[in-house]
Every structure is written in structure tokens, then in C-alpha cells.
């Protein structure tokens, strides 16, 4: 199962993030958020979203290639001439217009279509949670935020009577609890059904996959 890009808004699709310069001539290493090599290998117009500017700007991709054995691409943009310019773009994102969607094959999906899908256990019928993120680690991984959140055991509150107010603030500042999630490999054996029309997918998890660590 493959995916294609994440949604920036109704107009743009993110295809990758600039992670570092390569060499001295302005080449850029890209961490892709798409499974379509043509996004980086075929010359043509792309858009660059700088961290401080929400409005993307057009750039011209001259060439690109994948580093052998790694899920990293190297691209050359016409507007980036040297390493100094390349370093100013770290963390910026490459975009394409949302209308520029390639034709998908069977079992290929756009990331934007998978985010927020309801996740059901195919055997029990239980609504487990919602897809909130997609990662790549050799294959695509769905991050699912669980509907049934674990109950956190109360911790004993320490005696603060002899500690200064300054120390109290420093040592015992409460931290927000992040929602519990599980990671599910996006492969046919574990995710046999993706129903975009009904906004749901079904999983057949092997033993232990849904256990919280």
C-alpha cells in the first residue's frame, strides 16, 4: 500500500521537507512525504513554503534522484546556487498543487484521504480510534489515536512545604498528557479494507500490536 503527500490546505500538497544541504552547489536533501519518485525526478515547477511565510513561492526543479538504499532524495532548484543559500532553506517544505494528483493504482492512497479515517477491528467490530499521522519506516506506518485512553495512576504528591516557591515552579510544573496512540503497519495483511466512501478502514492486528507500552 502506498501513499501520496500530505495536505497543507485545500490548494497544496506537501511532497517533502528539506533536511540538509548536499555539497557546495546548492543541492538539497529532501525527506519525502510521497511514494512517487517523479515528484523529485521530473523537472518542472514546484512550490516552496518557507517556515516564516505561509504563502508558497514557485521554484524550478532542475533534477533530482534518490540516494541508493535510503528514503532520501537530492534535488537541485534553479533558485539555489550554493551551500549558503541551501542552508537557509532547512525545514522548508516542497509543495505541488493539489490538482496535480497522479493517477493512483490499486491499493495506493493519498495521505490526505487517510488522515482522520475511523479505525475498526475487523473481528470485534470495535471502533478503536482515528488515523492522525502517517510515517515511513521501511513501509508506511499509521499512527492511530485511541478512543479508549488508559487511566493514569495518581502519583503521590511530594511534601512541598519546605521548598521555596521558585523551586516549586521549576521542579513541579505540571505537564500536559499526550493522547495514547498505537502504530499500525499499513500493509494488506493488517489493513485489509480501506473504505474512503465510508471514511473508515478495518484492521486485523496480530497479538500484541494494540498493546500500550
Of the residues 82, 103, 124, which one is the last residue of a structural domain?
103
* pLDDT for position 42: 93
- Residue whose entry in the numeric block shows the C-alpha cell 497479538: 207
What distance in Å separates the CA atoms of residue 140 and residue 166, rounded to the nearest whole number?
46
* pLDDT for position 21: 96
Taking every pair of Cα atoms in the chain, the longest distance, rounded to a whole number of angstroms, is: 67
Q: Specify whether 129 is located in the same domain as 191.
A: yes
Q: Specify whether 66 is located in the same domain as 145.
A: no
Q: Specify whether 12 is located in the same domain as 98.
A: yes
H helix or E strand, kind and range, residue 112 = helix 111-114
Q: Specify whether 119 is located in the same domain as 59.
A: no
Sign of the C-alpha dihedral computed for residues 110, 115, 117 and 119 taken in this order: positive
Q: Specify whether 70 is located in the same domain as 90.
A: yes
Q: Specify whether 63 is located in the same domain as 137.
A: no
Q: Specify whether 161 is located in the same domain as 121.
A: yes
Q: Specify whether 122 is located in the same domain as 99.
A: no
Q: Give the range of the structural domain holding residue 187, as residue numbers without chain letter.
A: 115-203
100 alpha-carbon distance from chain centroid: 20
Q: How many Cβ atoms sit within 10 Å of the Cβ of residue 147?
A: 14
What CATH number did the domain enclosing 74 receive? Answer: 2.40.30.60
* pLDDT for position 145: 93
Record the pTM.
Answer: 0.56
Number of domains in the chain: 2
Q: Specify whether 64 is located in the same domain as 18.
A: yes
Sign of the C-alpha dihedral computed for residues 135, 140, 144 and 150 taken in this order: negative
* pLDDT for position 160: 55
Q: Specify whether 122 is located in the same domain as 79.
A: no
* pLDDT for position 93: 92
Of the residues 103, 128, 148, which one is the last residue of a structural domain?
103
Q: Specify whether 123 is located in the same domain as 54.
A: no
* pLDDT for position 78: 96
Q: Specify whether 24 is located in the same domain as 80.
A: yes
pLDDT in tens, the chain (213 residues): 555 555 455 678 888 999 999 999 999 999 988 878 889 999 999 999 987 677 899 999 999 999 998 889 999 999 999 999 999 999 999 999 877 766 666 777 777 788 899 999 999 999 999 999 887 776 788 999 998 887 765 555 555 555 555 554 555 565 667 788 999 999 999 999 999 899 999 999 998 888 765
What CATH number did the domain enclosing 151 receive? Answer: 2.30.30.240
Amino acid at each position: 500500500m502506498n501513499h501520496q503527500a500530505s495536505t497543507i490546505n485545500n490548494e497544496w500538497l506537501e511532497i517533502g521537507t528539506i533536511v540538509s544541504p548536499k555539497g557546495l552547489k546548492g543541492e538539497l536533501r529532501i525527506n519525502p512525504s510521497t511514494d512517487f519518485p517523479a515528484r523529485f525526478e521530473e523537472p518542472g515547477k514546484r512550490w516552496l513554503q518557507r517556515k516564516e511565510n505561509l504563502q508558497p513561492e514557485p521554484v524550478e526543479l532542475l533534477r533530482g534522484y534518490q540516494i541508493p538504499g535510503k528514503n532520501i532524495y537530492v534535488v537541485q532548484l534553479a533558485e539555489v546556487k550554493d551551500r549558503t543559500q541551501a542552508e537557509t532553506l532547512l525545514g522548508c517544505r516542497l509543495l505541488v498543487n493539489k490538482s496535480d494528483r497522479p493517477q493512483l493504482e490499486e491499493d495506493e492512497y493519498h495521505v490526505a484521504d487517510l488522515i482522520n479515517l475511523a479505525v475498526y477491528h475487523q473481528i470485534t467490530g470495535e471502533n478503536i480510534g482515528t488515523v492522525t499521522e502517517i510515517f515511513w519506516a521501511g513501509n508506511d506506518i499509521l499512527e492511530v489515536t485511541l478512543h479508549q485512553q488508559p487511566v493514569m495512576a495518581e502519583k503521590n504528591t511530594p511534601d512541598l512545604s519546605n521548598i521555596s516557591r521558585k523551586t516549586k515552579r521549576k521542579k513541579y510544573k505540571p505537564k500536559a498528557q499526550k493522547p495514547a496512540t498505537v502504530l499500525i503497519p499499513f500493509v494488506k495483511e493488517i489493513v485489509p479494507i480501506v473504505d474512503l466512501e465510508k471514511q473508515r478502514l478495518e484492521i486485523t492486528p496480530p497479538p500484541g500490536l494494540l498493546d500500550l507500552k
